[in-house]
Structure 1
Amino acid sequence: MVELTVRRASLWQDAVRLLLLLDAAAEPLGHDPDAPVGAVGVVHTQVRLQKLDFWVRNPDYLANELLNEYDADPESPGLIDAAERILSSQEPDLRRFPMLRHRFGAFEHLDNALSVLVEKGLARKRHRLGDKRVIQHNYYLLDQGRVTAASLVTEAPALGWYVERTRLVVNLVNGVGGTRIKERQYLQRDYAGTPIGSYIPAITEQVRARLTTLRQAGATEVGHTEVAR
């Protein structure tokens, strides 16, 4: 279902978010013959960058994924608490910038925001070519980009939210490739059921209800354990 009113980020907001996401997600270069001069890290594939960006821009889906992780491992520390912090605040509304559903999931053209970073000497994009077409896009964070990311947060502490969220998103899927992240996101029914070309809808209330159910189940289990003792 297409939303009647869709919040759009400004070009500056997109550029800052993309820079901080690159700073959080960039992996060591290793032996990378394509790396530009001054590169300090790389995000391999547009798919990975787009899918990470989706969770930053849609806190309710991020909270749902945290609850998925909690379901899989209830003993893992902090997952349900992190989801609750997101859902008990206004974050799902204030920080939400919807993305369109395309053939391969959530997508938005990054070129405008990236061009700002390229112009300032903060990042670079390189193509890896196959026989007849581009087979991979790689996104390089430059040394000046890392310095700028740190200075931005120092000068504008409110941007610290983006640092926290981008790191939370990256840690959630540390070592997981873009295709696998895409598959995980498709497991969410509302996401997968969005018609191609439409904005992926909010799921905030569903996830809040799920959190309540999990909290109640946890309290019941604790109560049973206390009785057993």
Structure 2
Amino acid sequence: MTVGDVPPNAATRTQHAIRLLVLLRVCGDPVGGSDPAGMAQVIRSERRLQALDFWLRNPDYLADELVTAVEAGALDAGYLAVAEGLLTDPEPAWHHYPMPKWFYGAYEEVDDAFAILQAYGLGLVRRRGVPPKPLRNQFFLTEFGAEKADELAATDVLSWYSQQAQLVHKVAGTDSGTKLKERQYLQDEYADAVWGTTIGSIGEQVTQRLALLSQTAPAAGATPETTGGIADETLE
């Protein structure tokens, strides 16, 4: 079973909220300065949040980023096995939730999902900026939300989210939302998608890249510890 073999899923609002919670915990920056009290982490750009969510929802695109990082020498060749697991293991395939493309690339409204986090005291949205300049949303994870995200990461049934988010964090680094979108637009399937339509899978192309690279890559060191093909790293 591969990502391309499983029919696209329609994520629920609750699943979307869980992804946002996990992304804030794994990929969020430390708070400081004039940030609200009681907050643990923050993602200060919706564009960055959307780009991170795209990789979390699309394991084939995430796998391709891992392959690219191995080719560039940024990751050990052991991550080729992790990338292959993203394409072939059941867990990532069943959690494949394609996104529609709009003006700035992959986009799905986060208001309803984030409202769940706010209702339970897990997250908070604040706007920054001074008119007439556009106001920007900042997405905060509360201290209570960080605690619950860590509990989720330790739960067998839901730990997959946190494990895959660690890979998203690894390939995204500190790049801005604009930079992440530019990287995603390098994929023809992404760039050529018509506005309002679902961005298609690149699973077959990534499989071909893996096959070619596995023949030429130097012998890998220790393969990263995995759970179901996903790098198993401690949440920061």
**What residue is the counterpart of 2:140 in the other structure?**
140
Structure 1: unaligned runs, 5 residues or longer: 223-229
Question: Which deviates more from structure 2 when the two are superposed, residues 172-181 or residues 139-148?
Answer: 172-181
**Partners in 2 of 1:206 and 1:97 — Cα distance?**
19
- Matched AA of 2:180: I
CA apart distance, 1:86: 1.3
- Which residue of 23, 26, 33 corresponds with 1:24? 26
- Matched AA of 2:20: L
CA apart distance, 1:173: 1.9
**Partners in 2 of 1:57 and 1:14 — Cα distance?**
10
- Say which SS state the counterpart of residue 201 (structure 2) adopts: coil
**Partners in 1 of 2:13 and 2:95 — Cα distance?**
15
**What residue is the counterpart of 1:161 in the other structure?**
160
**What residue is the counterpart of 2:95 in the other structure?**
95
Q: What does the per-residue CA deviation read over 1:102-157, in whole Å, with 9 as the maximum and x for residues that have no partner?
A: 11110000011100000101100111133225332111110010111122344x41
**What residue is the counterpart of 1:213 in the other structure?**
212
CA apart distance, 1:48: 0.5
Per the normalisation by structure 2, the TM-score is 0.84
**What residue is the counterpart of 1:47 in the other structure?**
47
* Contact 1:102–1:197 under 8 Å retained in 2: yes
**Partners in 1 of 2:173 and 2:74 — Cα distance?**
19
**What residue is the counterpart of 2:197 in the other structure?**
198
* Contact 1:39–1:141 under 8 Å retained in 2: yes
**Partners in 1 of 2:86 and 2:123 — Cα distance?**
30
* Contact 1:36–1:124 under 8 Å retained in 2: no
**Partners in 1 of 2:87 and 2:96 — Cα distance?**
12
- Say which SS state the counterpart of residue 134 (structure 1) adopts: coil
> Is the aligned partner of 1:12 residue 2:14?
yes
Structure 2: unaligned runs, 5 residues or longer: 1-6, 220-236
Aligned length: 213
Question: Which deviates more from structure 2 when the two are superposed, residues 75-84 or residues 90-99?
Answer: 75-84
Question: Which deviates more from structure 2 when the two are superposed, residues 86-95 or residues 103-112?
Answer: 86-95
* Contact 1:62–1:169 under 8 Å retained in 2: yes
* Contact 1:127–1:134 under 8 Å retained in 2: no
- Matched AA of 1:14: H
- Say which SS state the counterpart of residue 21 (structure 1) adopts: helix
Q: Which has the higher helix share?
A: 1
- Matched AA of 2:149: A
Percent identical: 37
- Matched AA of 2:144: Q
* Contact 1:57–1:95 under 8 Å retained in 2: yes
Question: Which deviates more from structure 2 when the two are superposed, residues 176-185 or residues 5-14?
Answer: 5-14
Per the normalisation by structure 1, the TM-score is 0.86
Find the structure with the greater CA-based Rg.
1
CA apart distance, 1:188: 0.7
- Say which SS state the counterpart of residue 158 (structure 1) adopts: coil
**What residue is the counterpart of 1:178 in the other structure?**
177
**What residue is the counterpart of 2:227 in the other structure?**
none
Distance 1:216 1:114, change over 3 A: same
- Matched AA of 2:13: L
**What residue is the counterpart of 2:58 in the other structure?**
58
**What residue is the counterpart of 1:76 in the other structure?**
76
**What residue is the counterpart of 2:126 in the other structure?**
126
Deviating 4+ runs (over 4 angstroms): none
- Matched AA of 1:180: K
CA apart distance, 1:17: 1.4
**What residue is the counterpart of 2:108 in the other structure?**
108
